[in-house]
Each structure stands twice: as structure tokens, then as C-alpha cells.
Amino acid sequence: MLLRRRKRRNPPKPYPSFPLTPHPNGPWCRKIRGEIRFFGVWEDTDTALANHLHVAADLHSGRRPSPQNLHLQGFAVKDAR
């Protein structure tokens, strides 16, 4: 018996001028300088928007976001130098 999975529907934007778009995998994203960047999960639009606003200037100018602008839950091993 073949079971079909339901297609997950993207949520609507919280308001029309919201700068992020919902990605089918579950996070809010935006294409910046030709690369898709992810900022947070659908359920937490405020945190996703805050993450975007903190790093947007660096990303648009082509710089890597500075560590004090990143709001990570933890840190990667490569950042523990």
C-alpha cells in the first residue's frame, strides 16, 4: 500500500512588507548576493526578522557577519579558537 505525504504549505508573510520569504524546508530565508540565507524557523518570525536585521548590512556589503552580530544558540567547533 502506497501512502502519500501531504505537501507542507508555506505560511503567509506576517505583513506585506516583511523582507523574508518562507522556504519549503521550514525556515525564513532571503537571497542576498545570489546566495540563499536562512534566518529562523516559521514559528518564530520575530527572531528570524531580528537575525536578518543584525546581519543584513554585512551580508549586503559582501562581508562575513561579525561574531557579535550573530545570535546563535551555541557555537561551532571551528569558532572555538
- For a pLDDT cut of 70, what percent of the chain falls above it? 79
DSSP state of 51: H
Q: Higher-confidence residue: 15 or 81?
A: 15
pLDDT-derived band at 72 (thresholds 50, 70, 90) equals low
How many other CB atoms sit within 10 Å of the CB of residue 39?
24
- What lies within 8 Å, CB to CB, of 28 at 6+ separation is 20, 21, 22, 38, 39, 40, 41, 42, 45, 48, 49, 52
pLDDT at 77: 55
Three-class SS state of 16: coil
Residue 70 CA to residue 18 CA, distance in Å, equals 20
